[in-house]
Structure 1
Amino acid sequence: MSTTPNRQALVIGASKGLGLVLVDELARRDWHVIATTRQDGGELRADADASNGRLTVESLEMNSPEQLAALRERLAGRRFDLLFVNGAIDRGNLSIDQVPTDMFTEVMITNALSPLRVLESLRDLVAPGGTVGVMSSEQGSISQNTEDGYELYKASKAALNQLMRSYATRYADDGHTKLLIDPGHNRTGLGGFDAPLDPKENIPAVVDVLEAQAGAPGLQFLDRHGEPVPW
């Protein structure tokens, strides 16, 4: 990842929650950021308007292959030091026998399939030596799944991690740093507003990890402190 003042980032899924705080922190550090949202306007657009050109907004429904292809076309010729995919849904604390098939499909597409489709579509926009990363979760760790609850969400994050491992194996020689990031349990719409971590205090540490790992080989699954998360 470049250390020049012209560092370029593309962040997928930044309209709210962790994604919104992440792009604001990158822009604060003088990255030039393109951030995507499913809906125009809102806090992300307001932050972009106040960013003095460091933050711009693109439209993307991540689950739409057509919209993803259109975004790829619009960004043709750009080069990014960081491509980071953020975006997940949770449909409640149901045991797997209570999960309807359409809910299972929705969560798996959003949390596992679509992030990897994004990487496949946009990876050639990442500069040599750049970083591709995805927001994962400690709940995707199979070895640490020792408490009841949120079985579908856990399964979707484990699937994401496995697909990212396959991606990293296929592109082992592309020179890109590859990261899965566990940001911890944050107070967001997804994490719940009684969660222990404040994103505005916590996400700067995540950005520290993204910057510190620039140029690292292979795939790593790291927490917000840069420590390995057990697979």
Structure 2
Amino acid sequence: MTRTALVIGASRTLGLAVATELHRRGWHVIGTVRGERPTALHDLAGDRLEVERLEMTDEQQIHALADRLAGRPRDLLFVNAGIAHADVPVGEVTTESFTQVMITNALGPMRVVEVLGPLVRETGTIAVMSSKQGSLTLNTNGGHEVYRASKSALNQLMRSYAARHASARTLLLLNPGWVRTGLGGPGALLEVGESVPGLLDAVESHAGETGLHFVDHRNQTVPW
């Protein structure tokens, strides 16, 4: 039977690559995009690949998507989101900037997990894109303070979600590595095509395991 995935934030870079690679591996994929403009994901739409619209910072849109997909259980919910503003000390960050990063990187993804998680089969997987910059243990150099804080918040919220939902579902926080994207910058170590297949190998290798796991694109555990 064809496995099914819902990929949130699939219009470009990492999210687009996740949707594309899952489709290449034979999954039936629904990918979401934020706006109404055609995207690279629309170019792939057709056999086993559908496009839905979702702005994950809009709670009403999340519930509307859940209503549209009701009765269509998924094997995988993959949530991809991440923005970063200026790399300055937190004392120099505006309240507006801090709020936007936290909502986009932590609150929005967790609202998606809370609302769309029940659409995942009991034996399925919920995977959320995190970052090693959310690791307290690995923060020895500082920098990117608000981005780090938003990913740490995401990790903590997923820990709380796992504590509240004792089910057979696999829960994953994923670190893609330092990837050459608009967020990672041109000096990053990895191409998208080097990161994403490894991420999905990790997703597949943990399928059927209970509890929450924080791993990277090489399927190595990331310290909290």
Q: Same fold (TM over 0.5)?
A: yes
2:10–2:41 CA contact under 8 A, matched in 1: yes
Tell me whether 1:141 sits opposite 2:138 in the alignment: no
Tell me whether 1:14 sits opposite 2:7 in the alignment: no
Distance 1:162 1:75 in 2: 28
How much does 1:211 deviate? 0.8
Distance 1:70 1:128 in 2: 22
Q: Which residue of 1 aligns with 2:156?
A: 162
1:104 partner amino acid: F
Tell me whether 1:209 sits opposite 2:202 in the alignment: yes
Match 2:179 to one of 160, 183, 186:
186
Distance 1:7 1:24 in 2: 14
How much does 1:121 deviate? 0.3
Distance 1:210 1:138 in 2: 17
Tell me whether 1:23 sits opposite 2:16 in the alignment: no
1:24 partner amino acid: T
Per-residue deviation, residues 78-131 of structure 1 (Å, max 9, x unmatched): 100000100111012011000001111111011001111101101111012100
How much does 1:223 deviate? 0.8
Report percent identity of matched pairs. 53
1:160 partner amino acid: L
Distance 1:69 1:148 in 2: 37
1:114 partner amino acid: G
Match 1:220 to one of 175, 190, 213:
213
Match 2:54 to one of 60, 74, 82:
60
2:69 partner amino acid: L
Three-state SS of the structure 1 residue aligned to 2:67 is helix
Three-state SS of the structure 1 residue aligned to 2:140 is coil
Distance 1:21 1:195 in 2: 17
Stretches of structure 2 lacking an aligned partner (at least 5 in a row): none
Q: How does 1:23-102 map to 2 (within 5 A)?
A: 23-40=19-36, 41-48=38-45, 52-102=46-96
Distance 1:137 1:202 in 2: 12
Structure-1-length-normalised TM-score: 0.95
Three-state SS of the structure 2 residue aligned to 1:69 is helix
1:7 partner amino acid: R
How much does 1:201 deviate? 2.3
2:18 partner amino acid: L
Three-state SS of the structure 2 residue aligned to 1:33 is strand
Three-state SS of the structure 2 residue aligned to 1:58 is strand
Distance 1:63 1:166 in 2: 20
Match 2:193 to one of 194, 200, 204:
200
Distance 2:96 2:77 in 1: 30
1:192 partner amino acid: G
How much does 1:160 deviate? 0.3
- Give runs of ≥4 in structure 1 deviating > 4 Å: none
How much does 1:138 deviate? 0.3
